[in-house]
Amino acid sequence: MNTLTAGDAAPAFSLLDQDGNTVSLGDFKGKKVLFYFYPKAMTPGCTVQAQGLRDTKAELDAHNVVVLGVSIDPVKRLGKFIERDNLNFTLLSDEDHAVADQFGVWGRRNLWVKSTMVCTASAS
């Protein structure tokens, strides 16, 4: 498993968002990106964390930070999560956990080692 440390550049990726559109790190050039990795949409802990990000989005926007939630959920489930909890940021589907592995947040447990937030200074 890879492990990122402070100052490391985020790995390049392309994943589908909740609408089935391809999203890549390069889409956010010049912005700060906060990657929010969570085990499964609509579970209690993940819901609380997502709602917290939703509720602080204006502050994050003021600091030029884009939030990307990443899970192994299929695209269809991500859309339901956004709708149910009125989420105001993009969710990405990493069904094969390849991106989570690149970020060092995928483990040998049933799902994720833990919910993890990884920030990069700017998208490259």
User: Is residue 46 flagged as an active site residue?
Assistant: yes
Instruction: Find out whether 110 and 37 touch, Cβ atoms under 8 Å.
Output: no
58 burial level (CB within 10 Å; 0-12, 13-18, 19+)? exposed
Taking CA atoms, 97 is separated from 53, 64, 79, 107, in Å, by 22, 27, 19, 10
Instruction: Find out whether 72 and 40 touch, Cβ atoms under 8 Å.
Output: yes
Residue 124, C-beta contacts closer than 8 angstroms, at least 6 positions apart? 9, 10, 25, 26, 29
Instruction: Check 46, 50, 78, 92 and give the catalytic one.
Output: 46
Q: Which residues are catalytic?
A: 46
